[in-house]
Structure 1
Amino acid sequence: MGQYKEPEHTWEHQHAVLRIPAILVLINILRREFSPSHLQGRTGTTANYMIQTSADGVLPHWNQSSDCRLNEQAGPHLKSTKALVTGGGGYFGYNLGCALTKLGITVVLFDIQKPKWEVPNGAIYFQGDVRDCKAVFQACGGVDCVFHAASYGMSGLDQLQKKEQIESINVNGTKVVIDVCKQRNIPRLIYTSTVNVVFGGNPIEEGDEETVPYFPLEKQVNHYSRTKAMADQMILAADGTPLKGGDKLHTCVLRPPGIYGPEEQKHLPRVLMNIQRGLFNFKFGNPKAQMNWVHVGNLVQAHLLAAEALTPEKGYIASGQAYYIHDGENVIFSEWITPLFEKLGYSRPWIRIPAFLVYIAATVTEYLCLALKPVFSFTPFLTRNEVWNIAVTHTFRIDKACNQLGYCPKKFALADSVDHYLQTRPKCQDHHKFLKIWLVLGTCLCLIFFVLLS
């Protein structure tokens, strides 16, 4: 049974912490941020940035045995001729679309931006906004299964955008998708949610779908998690809704943690940049805090199985259900990213500072980011939500997905994704050095001021 605990991170018990080490850490950050090795790293120059795909458009770095197993598990019973993937131009949506085409299913990759990779045979790219009912309706012609993976505001700078913009995409866009499914008589809708719908900074140990409630919307520190929770509930509430043709809509929700894999553009590049800047030279929070991650291949597998589990052949077992999906391992973040430190030639983090100091720094950076937005845009090193994601234990059980969907996560190594990224990453350039210097100095001075007052 999952255990949902009250917050353990309080400010008062941290006041006895020595202030000098924290200030030294800030000095170390400045030194590393503007050292000559910052822009080039310690592994020498890298090759020019190139993205290559195989002839059918599937990323060549996937383990092929995994692809074959996906076909065996989900192909014969998927019972679909045409599927639509919202967010099909993004990393996960594109990979899901490729896997569907390999099963012989016609795929519509629906997104406002075209994929960076070649559109595979058997798929078409449809440019459109998920909030545009007419565009979604047109794209869903002949579709019998929708994978709703489009979202906005997941991490970094996107997480700090206007509340209305994030909500219009994540909530209003979801409403549009549900309405179109009703109008188009589409019987299956699978939603890509997130563990953040239940996690907001309170420890969760081995949480499951039945015992861990939604985190209170009014207490969420970021609009992304709040709006994803709203959409999560909308999808589940839509299960069983009558369709225009007389059938019923069957829905389910998959809740993954952070996604990694070859060509991933959200998490790995930011972590690498922060390591080079010296921002991850320290540890914070509970040293034994654990979390989960999911490889894109495993997440694709779960979506295919979920679509299969919404068919009459499977007794609609997934109808109206939510599932946690990850690699089946609990990891400590600082240990999990060790391959990245090793490949870059950096030593592992050894300085420990209180989590509340990092939280304050993230808060100050967020406000600076918003204040400077009209003049200069930059990505925060960490947001407040990301601080708790690293500092506080939040692990989940996947028993339900394994038992009901037949989900069986394959073993993947982060080191493989790191190797691929380092071989293909673009050369790091710094066109705003003066502004960066001012920004980092201002952030550190504000942080020091808060430390001295605490």
Structure 2
Amino acid sequence: MPAVGEIYLVTGGHGFLGQEVIKLLIEENRDLSEVRILDKVIQQNFIESLQALAGGRIKLTVFKGDVRNKEILQKACQGLTCVIHTASVIDIWGYISNEELESINVEGTRLLLDACIQQNVKYFIYTSSVEVVGPNARGDPICNGDEDTVYLGKLRFQYSRTKYAAEQLVLSTNGCLLPNGEQIITCALRPMFIYGENCRFMKSHLDEAIINGDVLQRNSKKQALVNPVYVGNVAWAHVLVARAMKDKDKKKIVCGKFYYITDDTPHMSYSDFNHELMGPLGFTIPDKLNMPLLFMYVTAFILEIVQFLLKPFIRYIPKTNRHFITMLNTKFTFTSHKARNDFDYIPRYSWEVVKKQTTAWLASIVQERRDILNKK
């Protein structure tokens, strides 16, 4: 193992995206000497698989905890080259309190930035989300938007608001003076909806379809086009922008900027996307929405009223809400041309390949999911 080399910290390193980022760092960064993994839960078999991949060339260090633990952050940031901050809490249904979302997504990011500055960490990459843009409550569409697209409207999800606040913290920290006299360089990536093997949201849709007699629910109209992005391509974008930050010419371009991350996944509605991947397994989907869109909004509104009335007595969380319906039924697509121009981002994995891989993963778990659901 090299005595001197780059040291990366990946927060949320055991998560869906974090795992892929770490794997690509090990495979593609020849100057890497150590990867530090920060997460609340880290399974030993994951660490063993990384050790096999590293082949003794790279040291792996585990920090169990979350981004609100100042002591862990200080230790994890000592001697660090770069932080890739993927850790966050995702919630668009209301299962997690607003205070908890704010505490982890915003305050946790603030504490991590503070630790980086105190420990002279020069590079900081934040995993943001397309949801920091919208859609807004009116469901105004965007077709092939980019970083210059102006989109007005209040963010309804507390998750979206906290991700946006954290992103702005990261970008505004760019250029801050470090104790060693250098300046910190920050950047944020805004991927579309991330899918791929081990995606828990896809597993949830699979379960719903099994319960519904192998019929997928149509909750989004066909015209509500979106462009999901494969997890491996999002991870690859993180690796590439980290390279650009260390390039004397490119770092001047990417510092303090945000970038949309997409790939060649076809534009289609969320419901049709689920069917595209699960159709080969025998799952079907109706041509029309489960109920008229207006009726879906009315039903959601009534459920929100019930939630409000019951709040003093019990915690009731509706399975849907009006903004979730808007998100599923709004045309919202973007391009990643700027990422290509500024730091040479080209998707590493093609749609043809990832479709086969993701469908194969779904096929590998479908019987297990049937067995589990039948026992309930």
TM-score between the two structures when normalised by the length of structure 2 = 0.83
Structure 2 stretches of 5 or more lacking a match? 52-57
Query: Letter of the aligned partner of 1:320 in structure 2?
Result: G
The answer to whether the aligner puts 1:405 opposite 2:370 as a matched pair is no
The answer to whether the aligner puts 1:326 opposite 2:262 as a matched pair is yes
Q: What percent of counterpart residues are identical?
A: 31
Q: Which structure exhibits the higher relative contact order, with contacts defined as CA atoms closer than 8 Å and separated by 6 or more residues?
A: 1
Equivalent-residue separation in structure 2 for 1:367 and 1:309 (angstroms): 49
169-178 vs 380-389, which moves further: 380-389
Match of 2:55 in 1: none
The answer to whether the aligner puts 1:300 opposite 2:239 as a matched pair is no
Q: Evaluate the alpha carbon distance shift between residue 383 and residue 411 of structure 1 in structure 2; reply closer, same or farther with a 3 A threshold.
A: farther
Deviation at 1:271, TM superposition (A): 1.4
1:309 partner SS: helix
Match of 1:162 in 2: 97
Deviation at 1:356, TM superposition (A): 3.3
2:245 partner SS: coil
* 1:6-63 Cα shifts (integer Å, max 9, x gaps): xxxxxxxxxxxxxxxxxxxxxxxxxxxxxxxxxxxxxxxxxxxxxxxxxxxxxxxxxx
Asked if structure 2 preserves the Cα contact closer than 8 Å seen for 1:88 and 1:115, the reply is: no
From 22, 33, 42, the equivalent of 1:97 is 22
* 1:166-219 Cα shifts (integer Å, max 9, x gaps): 010000011011111110101110000000111133311211112234x55xx3
Deviation at 1:113, TM superposition (A): 1.3
Match of 1:227 in 2: 162
Match of 1:263 in 2: 198
From 82, 93, 96, the equivalent of 1:145 is 82
Structure 1 stretches of 5 or more lacking a match? 1-78, 434-454
1:107 partner SS: strand
Query: Letter of the aligned partner of 2:62 in structure 1?
Result: Y
Asked if structure 2 preserves the Cα contact closer than 8 Å seen for 1:94 and 1:109, the reply is: no
From 174, 179, 189, the equivalent of 1:244 is 179
Asked if structure 2 preserves the Cα contact closer than 8 Å seen for 1:89 and 1:111, the reply is: yes
Between Structure 1 and Structure 2, how many residues are aligned? 348
* 1:120-164 Cα shifts (integer Å, max 9, x gaps): 1232221022012221111112211000111003455xx431100
Equivalent-residue separation in structure 2 for 1:113 and 1:208 (angstroms): 36
2:189 partner SS: strand
Asked if structure 1 preserves the Cα contact closer than 8 Å seen for 2:222 and 2:268, the reply is: no
The answer to whether the aligner puts 1:210 opposite 2:148 as a matched pair is yes
Query: Letter of the aligned partner of 1:404 in structure 2?
Result: D
Query: Letter of the aligned partner of 2:282 in structure 1?
Result: G
Asked if structure 2 preserves the Cα contact closer than 8 Å seen for 1:250 and 1:319, the reply is: yes
1:134 partner SS: helix
Match of 1:111 in 2: 39
From 274, 283, 301, the equivalent of 2:208 is 274
TM-score between the two structures when normalised by the length of structure 1 = 0.69
Asked if structure 2 preserves the Cα contact closer than 8 Å seen for 1:288 and 1:332, the reply is: yes
Query: Letter of the aligned partner of 1:127 in structure 2?
Result: K
165-174 vs 113-122, which moves further: 113-122
The answer to whether the aligner puts 1:422 opposite 2:352 as a matched pair is no
Match of 1:449 in 2: none
The answer to whether the aligner puts 1:390 opposite 2:315 as a matched pair is no
Deviation at 1:245, TM superposition (A): 1.0
Deviation at 1:256, TM superposition (A): 0.6
Equivalent-residue separation in structure 2 for 1:220 and 1:297 (angstroms): 28
Equivalent-residue separation in structure 2 for 1:384 and 1:432 (angstroms): 33
